[in-house]
Amino acid sequence: MDPNLAAVASPRRFLPAGQLSPWIALILVVAIGMNIRAIFGVTPPLIPLISDDLGLSGTTASLLTALPVLAMGLCAPLGHALTTKIGADWAMISLFVVLGLAELSRLLIATAVPLILTAGLIGGALGAISTLAPAFISHHLPRFRGLATGLYSTSMALGVALAAGTARPVTDVLGGWRVALAVWGGAALLLVLALLMVRARGARMPANVGPPGRISLPLRERRAWFVTAVYAVPMFLGFGVIAWLPSLFIEVGRSPTTAAGYLVLFQLVQLLSMLTLTPLTDRVPGRRGVFATAMLASTVGLLLLTVAPREAAVPGLLLAGFGIGGASSLALVKVQDEAVSPQDATRLSSMAMLFSFTAGATGPFLMGALKDLTGSLVPGFGLCLLVSVLSLSLLIRMHPAHRQAGAH
């Protein structure tokens, strides 16, 4: 039996008072991950319906995915700031309440402006929550951070896949795209109840995850900028591809149902890379090999989607999904590699997400703008290919993890 899993399976009676059971912590990690990425799965398959209903151009429609990503970046430091005021537990609970209510409010939307505004509000909540996840993992699951981070990343991809796969059926059965967008608000509020129950049982994060004196971002630290660059690439590629992949396949003659299925497949193959590449980091201190595997796969996949989106659709999306998914989860591990404490992990992730999500927001927007300019999505995927090629230069500075005393 894997010693990490054996540790998870330790009987509850051996846990110190107030410590969260590792199994429960893992379940919460999965639930958090699924909720904070569902919007990016449910929206793309519905863009044609929403655009027809509300009369959106390609550039305006791109805001439904680009604006949440931009808001995630701009609001990423909010998660750390909130923990210094009300503690990590209440920060996460409060942010999930905002997320759930914002998603449910889409049942009442009748025009494009409030739809786009709620997309920004949802993204802001997601960005703040995302910065708390590394600290949650470091605090509750310190003995197998790679496994937990892999499951967290996998759950994000699963959330996108589940939301994408159910978007059209929910729309058809329950009465329109508004219901499909809003249904995830109920899931977020259910998670709020679970977090409240866990806190009521005494398993809670430290009262202050980051002391007030350390609220500033590590803008002068080279390690922080490198981590940010590592994180920014899969964010740019991932959000751009997710936003426009179904539309690309519809553009080259696939049916909407097939295009949505391809998006689900793109997300599912990310699960494979996250479950295979990320846990390796618990046993192998080197990082260059696993990062190279992910980045080369994404480059080849995007090349196929650019030059032969119809003929090479499946191998292209499989390779791109494997590479982008693996790189995004490995970036989270790199944050924890560089952090010396849960507080430091929150600071690093706040900075990384501020800039990487801001960069990631440009992916869907630029691809939508290029579509309006050229009449095709192929140039947009060519832009993603260029970014993926340039990202290979990051391998030069990809050093092994340096775990410091007290990091846990």
What is the average per-residue pLDDT within 110-135?
87
With bands split at pLDDT 50, 70 and 90, how would you rate the model's confidence at 6?
very low
| 324: helix, strand or coil | helix
Does the pTM surpass 0.85? The reply is no
pLDDT at 3 over 60: no
Q: Quick one: pLDDT at residue 304? A: 96
Instruction: Report the chain's terminal Cα–Cα distance, integer Å.
Output: 24
199/185 Cα distance (integer angstroms):
21
Note whether 242 and 263 are within 8 A (CB). Answer: yes
Nearest one of 276, 274, 272, 247 to 259, comparing CA atoms: 247
Q: Summarize the confidence of residues 163-174 as an average pLDDT.
A: 86
Task: Tell me: pLDDT of 340 over 80.
Answer: no
Dist CA 306 CA 377 (whole Å): 9
Residue 343 in this model has a pLDDT that exceeds 70:
no
Q: Residue 378 — pLDDT band, cuts 50, 70, 90?
A: very high
Confidence at residue 233, expressed as pLDDT on a 0 to 100 scale? 93
C-alpha dihedral (99, 30, 74, 248), degrees to nearest 10: -90
Average pLDDT rounded to a whole number, residues 319-323: 95
Per-residue pLDDT, averaged over 351-362, amounts to 82
Q: Which pLDDT value is given to residue 373?
A: 92
Residue 389, token pair as written in the block: 């090629």
Give the pair of three-digit tokens for residue 132: 């708390």
What is the H or E stretch that residue 381 is in? Answer: helix 378-391
Helix (H) or strand (E) holding 201: none
pLDDT at residue 382, as a whole number? 95
Beta carbons within 8 Å of 379's beta carbon, 6+ residues apart: 370, 371, 373
pLDDT category, 100, cuts 50, 70, 90? very high
What's the gap between Cα 161 and its chain centre? 12
Cβ atoms within 10 Å, residue 212: 10
**Confidence at residue 287, expressed as pLDDT on a 0 to 100 scale:** 80
Cβ atoms within 10 Å, residue 59: 17
Q: Work out the percent of the chain whose per-residue pLDDT is above 70.
A: 87
337 or 114: which carries more pLDDT confidence?
114
322: CB partners within 8 A, 6+ apart: 269, 270, 272, 273, 294, 297, 298, 301
Per-residue pLDDT tens over the stretch 35-82:
988 888 888 888 888 888 888 887 788 888 778 888 887 887 788 788
CA 303, CA 217: separation in Å to the nearest integer? 36
| CATH number, domain 19-209+216-397 | 1.20.1250.20
Tell me which DSSP letter residue 341 carries: S
| pLDDT of res. 297 | 96
The pair of structure tokens assigned to 81 is 């700031």
